[in-house]
Structure 1
């Protein structure tokens, strides 16, 4: 079981990267987990200003901790330009050396967002899989060629090295760790406590379908996509959608594929799959889920899930 969790507070830290996981483990303590939370600086500074301007104070120095295989270290993301500052990296060398010692002692080390860059600077990720925020994927790949970088994943686990894509995925990673340590019911109770609708898994993509295929400037296609999302529970037709966006069905079909790269029908299926996974994971009956996804029967829902089984979460049991 987890004993100590060390939250590293570097300069210009992103608040949710550190506060999100910290709150998850705080709630775990409230639910009876016998763990200790510590907040440390990687330098001699006792006051650290976050990227948002909020200050952290009364921090411990990382060097006072000698950890074991029961312990975890969380390294959050920071402002990206600081990670390219050679002076900052040099000042962090003692901390990076300490990370190596802790990992050799069996300690579990987790990075959130651009915290993966700092972890990679230690050399610990060489030869291992990891992920990072999608926005900085190319920069990471170019700088750390010895690391097996995995694209479009919420988090990756490899030899007690945990990396997550950023911001809210640090929360998903924390719940994953709690599930490993205390079981799925405990993790689910914590997720409900902090009002998280659905706990995402290691295999989920960084961007949901509601954000994918929206990187375009065509207002009519955005309107069509919004229409699908709003009317997902109904049995609307292509003609209904075309009338809503003031286009012919033929022109909408052509323009949707040209603009997004996929057909309107394929996009609709992706919306239905995403909604079904969330509703089923939240404990809803299969018949209710089928209805909310605009499907005529539970058999139709199961057929859709089987068709897209390669994108379903690990251990998904509804097909």
Structure 2
């Protein structure tokens, strides 16, 4: 049994965890397979490969990584190729070297994967055409608009469609790498890697629990932006669409039309998302009971709040509090 070659392509401006996380997972798996299980020939050979001629890549933290090879210099069969991040500035500058390499070499790869916005590289190469994919939750809407034929779901930490794997934001690359180890060498090996690195084998929850439901910077100068301070002061009230329109001295029809055009959602949906966002803050930073939070945010009772939370966050309020509660909350 030959070692599986895993090639990671670190892109400029990428978070170090996008690169180091998968490296540590595959390295730990290789060590466990050799030292712990003694499987001759099994394991992983790791290789950082530059996408272009420049082998030194500067990460977002300012720390530089030097790749021993470029993609063009690799001659042995690649089992898994992982694109770690992707700066859109490359596309704007007309630099399509990685895209072109993927187009030519994808048929020869056993598996291809992306971490965070590395999905843009796979999409530009046509690899994700008609497939399911995920990406960082901040980019999901823009990604879906740019590539309408790709089925985007930013709930899961990672997705698999055929031999194409995509993962969400930053740490999701670790979740994906553990899943690939499990696929290659079984659950027991993956569990040992997770234990060694003090990780969840399968992290509970969904990527959506980390997302901001409302991109407030994008609605700052809209009707929603003008209404938001008033809404926050009256969040425990009903806040019907007619009441919102009256507050701005607008007709119901015109208010609904303009609001939906500016925000991409109905006023009712915006109010519901705002209620959930504020409830999240209370769950993270306060000792208010579930009943108190539901009342303060206008989410009805505990049962109603739980239902709304599951719809928007794919997690219950109590599970969210356990995960994100600040240790300094009084």
Structure-1 residue corresponding to 2:120? 117
Quick check: 1:254 aligned with 2:269?
no
Rate the CA distance shift 1:119–1:147 in 2: closer, same or farther, 3 A: same
Q: Structure 1: how far apart are the matches of 2:170 and 2:192? A: 21
Quick check: 1:25 aligned with 2:60?
no
Quick check: 1:74 aligned with 2:82?
yes
Q: For residue 133 of structure 1, report the CA deviation from its aligned partner.
A: 0.7
Please show how residues 92-131 of structure 1 align to structure 2 within 5 Å.
92-93=96-97, 95-131=98-134
Aligned length: 249
Q: Structure 1: how far apart are the matches of 2:109 and 2:150? A: 20
Please show how residues 1-319 of structure 1 align to structure 2 within 5 Å.
3-32=4-33, 33-66=42-75, 68=77, 71-79=79-87, 81-82=88-89, 85-87=91-93, 90-93=94-97, 95-200=98-203, 204-208=205-209, 216-217=277-278, 222=282, 226-227=286-287, 241=289, 253-258=294-299, 263-264=304-305, 270-271=316-317
Q: Structure 1: how far apart are the matches of 2:320 and 2:157? A: 15
Q: In the alignment, is the contact (CA less than 8 A) between 2:15 and 2:59 conserved in 1?
A: yes
Q: For residue 48 of structure 1, report the CA deviation from its aligned partner.
A: 1.3
Q: Structure 2: how far apart are the matches of 1:264 and 1:225? A: 18
Q: In the alignment, is the contact (CA less than 8 A) between 1:108 and 1:161 conserved in 2?
A: yes
1:294-316 residue CA offsets vs partner (Å, 9 max, x unmatched): xxxxxxxxxxxxxxxxxxxxxxx
Q: For residue 148 of structure 1, report the CA deviation from its aligned partner.
A: 1.8
Rate the CA distance shift 1:123–1:196 in 2: closer, same or farther, 3 A: same
Q: Structure 1: how far apart are the matches of 2:121 and 2:143? A: 11
Q: In the alignment, is the contact (CA less than 8 A) between 2:137 and 2:211 conserved in 1?
A: no
Secondary structure of the corresponding residue to residue 138 of structure 2: helix
Q: In the alignment, is the contact (CA less than 8 A) between 2:12 and 2:59 conserved in 1?
A: yes
Q: For residue 100 of structure 1, report the CA deviation from its aligned partner.
A: 2.6
Rate the CA distance shift 1:121–1:189 in 2: closer, same or farther, 3 A: same
Q: Structure 2: how far apart are the matches of 1:111 and 1:156? A: 10
Q: For residue 9 of structure 1, report the CA deviation from its aligned partner.
A: 1.7
Q: For residue 206 of structure 1, report the CA deviation from its aligned partner.
A: 0.5
Q: Structure 1: how far apart are the matches of 2:5 and 2:166? A: 19
Q: In the alignment, is the contact (CA less than 8 A) between 1:67 and 1:102 conserved in 2?
A: no
Which segment is superposed worse, 149-158 or 107-116? 149-158
Rate the CA distance shift 1:260–1:78 in 2: closer, same or farther, 3 A: farther
What TM-score comes out, normalization by structure 2 length?
0.65
Rate the CA distance shift 1:35–1:208 in 2: closer, same or farther, 3 A: same
Q: For residue 265 of structure 1, report the CA deviation from its aligned partner.
A: 5.5
Q: In the alignment, is the contact (CA less than 8 A) between 2:55 and 2:67 conserved in 1?
A: yes
Unaligned runs of 5+ in 2: 34-41, 214-272, 324-330
Q: In the alignment, is the contact (CA less than 8 A) between 1:133 and 1:165 conserved in 2?
A: yes
Structure-1 residue corresponding to 2:266? none
What TM-score comes out, normalization by structure 1 length?
0.67
